[in-house]
Structure 1
Amino acid sequence: MRIGVPKEIKNRETRVALTPEGARRLVEAGHDVLVQSGAGAAAFLTDAAYADAGARLGSAEEAWAQDLVLKVKEPVPDEFPLLRDNVLFTFLHLAANEPLAAALVEARTTALSYDTVQLADGSLPLLTPMSVIAGRLATLAGGYHLLSSQGGRGVLLSGAPGVAGARVVVIGGGIAGSNALAQAVGMGADAVVIDLDESRLAALAAQHGDRVRTVVSTPDSIEQEVLQADLVVGAVLVPGRPAPTVVSHDTVTRMRPGSVLVDVAIDQGGCFEDSRPTTHDDPVYRVGESLLYCVANMPGAVGATATAALTHATFPYVEALARGWERALSADPALSRGLNVDAGTVRYPAVAQAFPHLPASRALQDARAVD
């Protein structure tokens, strides 16, 4: 199969979807790999390394023209004209991105999303490594923006001898949230985690002991804890669906002056009422007297680490798709759940529900009729 790897163009996105080692393995399996020149540079993976692995170097247009296109982030509007009726494998987060969903339908792209590949136990094997990194970065970024020089409260996460650390409230005890929590605990913060699942809270309490306070999620408990927080990390995820809003505008306007909120769920629309995507170049904005950090590609800040973690997880699926995407989906139910759009129709239920005016597959049309 002809496989293309474009360079990521989202603001400060430093990851790449295929390493030179991955390219070598694909070439050895008989596939033709074309990597856009400079695609790996921000992750310190050189064109020479790809060429040595047997890949060809080319332009963005050439990379997008291959049978299977591998990316990291969702196509941005500047890339919409490059979409076509080939196979695209990347993060899409389509339920929160109607323009992209419509563009993929119009181009008749077979679009598979990393974030909806789901195992039988409900786990998300391709989202998980990025959630780990985003969770850890959320606490680091939040702590940085708490500095007075960044407009924050001037509170150090770890505190100082005789001075308590910052109050960090993590909403959501999943992969991202638990990693944000562990980072906060490790840095000596006064940490609180909120979740609906009491068994999950019990597991986190057993892991961290008295260094963490656990709270069952209700609208009242979230409001109470957020109002006492220096840093809030929103890490609420519903796979494939828009994130629920858990912190209202009114609550943010009553928070401590200089407090910081980090929305890890921004790719799925965000879990704060005031959330809107930001970039690494301009990461925060003020609501009331608080700062919101809503960077939509947080792992791009650590491109070398994130590329290695992502490609380790995606490569077995890439190998399967390279042997034929229809056969790969038939053989692997987890990968089949990654199919979001195909042949001009929406194939993923949450996306069809979010955008009912877009054409959907026959099965989803029948489900709509039943509803």
Structure 2
Amino acid sequence: MFNPTRLSTARKRRQLTKKHLAESAGISQLTLTRIESGQTADPGEETVSALAKALSYPVSFFYREDCEELPVEAVSFRSLSSLTARQRDAALSAGAIAHLLDDWITDRFNLPEPDLLDLRDEDPESAAIALRRHWGIGSKPIPHILKLLEAKGIRVFSLAENNKNVDAFSCWRNGVPYVFLNTFKSAERSRFDTAHELGHLVLHLHGGTSGREVEREADRFASAFLVPRDDFIANVPVVRSLQQLMACKHRWGVSLAAITRTAYDVGSLSEWHYREFCKQISYRGFRKNEPEPMRREESVLWKKVFGQLWKERLTKDHIAAELGIPVDEISALIEGILGGDQEKVKTFRSGAKLRSV
């Protein structure tokens, strides 16, 4: 039976209004509205084919059970205020597609179990220390935060939303935490976004909280998690130049602007020097183009999964066909965090068990 909620999901993923989709499919907007609302329970085969073609989705996608659409209140968006409704809905729909893919993989592999804490009663800095202690990493720098999160049971996917409004978002689903990253940003910004979303997962647990204060708390958590204050003070008791901070940013894997703010917050940098350094960072264009950029992190978990799947030489088309989704949706979710090793992404093995990740 035709599923109207899936039509809505596909339309939102393509960021099309009902008017534009109706025009592309050669039907009236009223007809489309009746189909999407479920008033027309069984649209004709020709109409469904026209809609599928306009959306570049397989016809089979529209005849399956409901996708688990994420409600806005269950998701933490990094910059919700700057998002258009269309961008927000496209990102939420990407989450629904990711859940289909994750369920397919989880049925075939033993993935790490979530190992997070409920830190809603802690302030952001204390929460960062508590989670670091729980994970046994003390105050040392985190060279690969993506690998760390994956090892702790967090599913990390990429977003192919080539715009700066969708930084990242996170959510919980059936006890499993998810983080979605926009790899359009610099490697340093992506690391901060990752830690920011981790903060939401442990501080807020997506209980309907939102607003600037919640985002500031996640920022404070990310800063303290990536650059522990005691480690910074021990290594950089006094800051004398921007060049000194340039070297520091490589130790902790954060942007020059972020490490400058940390230096000020812990008292290693005076207010006057902080303001002067911020002016230099802006004047030299370092806020838009990170100086001495680090290499972008790549997923370790998905590479291990796809390495197992490679042996049976099953393609992304195989998974797409099983799930009834377009191949480009799979690519959008994984290729942004898989780096350059794309040949192995093309083929998958069915039924393998991932015993060690």
Larger proportion of helix: 2
TM-score by length of 2: 0.28
- Larger CA Rg, structure 1 vs 2: 2
TM-score by length of 1: 0.27
Larger proportion of strand: 1
